[in-house]
Amino acid sequence: MPLNRPILNILILGVILATIPWLGLSAFWLSFLYIILYWSVLTLSWNVFSGYSGYFSFGHGAFFGIGIYTVAYMCGQLEHSFLPMVALGGALSGVAGVVLGAIVFRVKRVRGELFALLTLAVTFIISTIVLNTPIDGGPGVYLNSVQVPKIGPNSPATFYLLILILFITALLISKLVSTSKLGAALFAIHDDEDAAEVMGVPTFKTKLIALFISSALAGIAGGIHAVFVSYVTANEVFSINVPLFVVLMSILGGARHWAGPALGALVITSLQYVFTIGDNALLGKMVLGSILILVILFKPSGFLGNRAKKEVKNDAKKIAESYGVNLESVHPHTETYFHVDHKSSNHIPHTKERNYNSEHGHHHWHTNPEILLQAQDLCMAFSGLLVLQNLNLEIYRGEILGLLGPNGSGKSTFINVISGHYKPTAGVLSFNGINITDLKAHEIAQHGIARTYQIPRPFANLTVFENTRLVASFARNISLSAATPFAIEALEKVGLQAKIDSLPQDLNLHQRKFLEFARALAAKPKLLMLDEVLSGLTPSEIQSAIDLILDIKAQGTTILFVEHVMSAVMALADRVAVINYGQLLAKGDPQEVMRNEDVITAYLGKKLEHA
């Protein structure tokens, strides 16, 4: 399999940079190049986790420091070999990252600034441990006597080549992660972690993997840098300057782009050098601060932020063209749907005449239906307030069940509990014969339950195609490439193939609603839960959605339908269930249920008086 162009370019860059030590450069310039690559490794390693996932960490100095002091103690004091201890430092840093993540990621509210402050606190804790143990003890550690394998013509060249190898490795990892299933999951976590989990992404595991990679790379960089500087002190190693500069460089270059942090490191390190040799260090800090302010105000995504968007859009368009997708707009209500041949990738249109009234016939429901999902004595409480109270409800395989009730009756909460957003306070949920009460949201999705949101929640920085493919990949537990045809088929089904390379911000409400449908279709669920998908749509758009829902049912998908557009509910539902204050009022045939006096009272606030 041929290498793709970015990977090949990175390898070529590595070969070119590897020749520099033999060009006769002085030790000063080799050391300067070392510093650029050293900061590039730190920024790239930080970005693999924090930039991609949105979990801004000020604790990168802790993992960097673990690598430094592993080498300082094991080589400087115990006289072990250099390279094995560098690897050990990376491993210990990675393990430290995983231990931290395993604790912190279990607390959902520790995100954003709370996560940043917590990681900064970890840095201070590790610094205190180092200072008050024989690892450092206070005076610092000298490393002049550590033997480093000679791989260059002189000592500065050797360190330059060591950090170059690590830089190329970090750049390759950054690129490969950004285009992998792991990267897609991290980008989804960045945009909407809760929705990502519900759509099948194992967010906890994903963050741990990314944090291990990030921490290990920082630890290895620290191990090399310890011997390069030859003397380390805890106050300098664990200072706020390291994580602060790493964050600034990454933001400046563009955290969304795999090479952005390295560009930021190059710019800031070079500017620092220019002002330092001119004896204008103070002016240099002012200029750097001004540049950062201007970037935040006028180019918040960084130097390569727009390039990152263009690349993902171009990738989506190329994939669509490779599958022969017609990028001309097709309105979703047309009676044409598409079938994807997964072997040849040819798209063959089929048309058929439909008579929904005769075909649907919700009054003739099965006499012995099979239960697909069952809620038994289901309760959900928030701060002592019961939103669902001993709810008993079953959904039969192959039906459309309309779930009705006044605003605040618990309909959306019921969907949130089924999908795993909330763990029920009490009761049992079983799906397809399996108890799913204690399953995580991504496990529930992988069992075949999908949902849409009342207010669409697409991943804002992923294209329409990436939004759909990600759900197909994780819900079906398949690779991104294997999920591609399912994503394209779903987008064609809802008529969004012309928007395949668009970002959600470029879609109107109707299109965002149908993107929700496409993501659900791509998952091929056994149960699809629709939460007020018709709200905000025009009559013609509502008709398009109704047609699509019936198509989905015709494919064998069971549907739970929460909606306030009563005409649509009555036209679509095989059965309806009405809940109020979290309790079941009535269920059964739509016409009979809507004549129920308790239901009328729940909606109107009083019993209907008959003349």
Average pLDDT, the chain: 89
Mean pLDDT score, 89-111: 91
With 50 as the cut, is the pLDDT of residue 354 above it? no
Work out the burial of residue 139: count CB atoms within 10 Å of its CB; fewer than 13 is exposed, 13-18 middle, 19 or more buried: exposed
Mean pLDDT score, 563-570: 87
- Give the bridge partners for 528, in sequence order: 450, 559
Distances (CA, A) of 433 to 168, 370, 372, 429, 438: 50, 11, 7, 10, 14
pLDDT value, residue 337: 37
- Cβ neighbours of residue 596 under 8 Å, at least 6 residues apart? 578, 585, 586
Band the pLDDT of 273: cuts 50, 70, 90: confident
pLDDT tens, residue by residue, 165-217: 999 999 999 999 999 999 999 999 999 999 999 999 999 999 999 999 999 99
pLDDT tens, residue by residue, 226-254: 999 999 999 999 998 889 899 999 999 99
pLDDT value, residue 363: 45
pLDDT tens, residue by residue, 503-557: 999 999 999 999 999 999 999 999 999 999 998 888 898 998 999 999 999 989 9
pLDDT value, residue 352: 35
pLDDT value, residue 606: 61
Question: Nearest to residue 69, comparing CAs of 125, 131, 156, 16?
Answer: 131
Mean pLDDT score, 386-413: 94
pLDDT value, residue 457: 95
Which one-letter amino acid corresponds to residue 181?
K
Helical H runs in 230-259? 234-237, 241-253
Instruction: Read off φ and ψ for residue 39, nearest 5 degrees.
Output: -65, -35
Strands (E), 383-492: 385-396, 400-404, 426-431, 434-435, 449-451
| CATH top-level class of 357-366+400-406+442-604 | alpha beta
pLDDT value, residue 346: 36
Chain-centroid distance of CA 113 in Å reads 18
Question: Nearest to residue 420, comparing CAs of 388, 445, 394?
Answer: 445
First to last CA, the chain: 80
pLDDT value, residue 327: 66
Mean pLDDT score, 340-350: 35
pLDDT value, residue 330: 45
With 50 as the cut, is the pLDDT of residue 350 above it? no
Helical H runs in 323-461? 356-360, 411-419, 441-446
* Other residues' Cβ atoms within 10 Å of the Cβ of residue 169: 16
Per-domain boundaries in the chain: 5-251, 357-366+400-406+442-604
Better-predicted residue by pLDDT, 80 or 606: 80
Residue 611, helix vs strand vs coil: coil
With 70 as the cut, is the pLDDT of residue 356 above it? no
Band the pLDDT of 365: cuts 50, 70, 90: low
pLDDT value, residue 137: 78
The percentage of residues in the chain with a pLDDT greater than 70, rounded to a whole number, is 91
With 70 as the cut, is the pLDDT of residue 360 above it? no
Question: Which of 76-85's residues contact partners 24+ apart within 8 Å by CB, and which partners?
Answer: 76/141, 76/142, 76/143, 76/145, 76/146, 77/134, 77/141, 81/147, 82/146, 82/147, 82/148, 82/149, 82/227, 83/149, 85/223
Better-predicted residue by pLDDT, 16 or 244: 16
With 70 as the cut, is the pLDDT of residue 583 above it? yes
With 60 as the cut, is the pLDDT of residue 353 above it? no
Lowest-confidence region among 60-69, 150-159, 189-198, 276-285: 276-285
pLDDT tens, residue by residue, 300-326: 889 999 999 999 999 999 998 888 886
Work out the burial of residue 200: count CB atoms within 10 Å of its CB; fewer than 13 is exposed, 13-18 middle, 19 or more buried: buried
Band the pLDDT of 357: cuts 50, 70, 90: very low
What length does the chain have? Answer: 611
With 80 as the cut, is the pLDDT of residue 427 above it? yes
The percentage of residues in the chain with a pLDDT greater than 90, rounded to a whole number, is 71
Question: Nearest to residue 491, comparing CAs of 352, 353, 318, 325?
Answer: 325
Lowest-confidence region among 189-198, 296-305, 440-449, 598-607: 598-607
With 80 as the cut, is the pLDDT of residue 55 above it? yes
> According to the per-residue pLDDT averaged within each range, which of 321-330, 345-354, 375-384 is highest?
375-384
pLDDT value, residue 607: 58
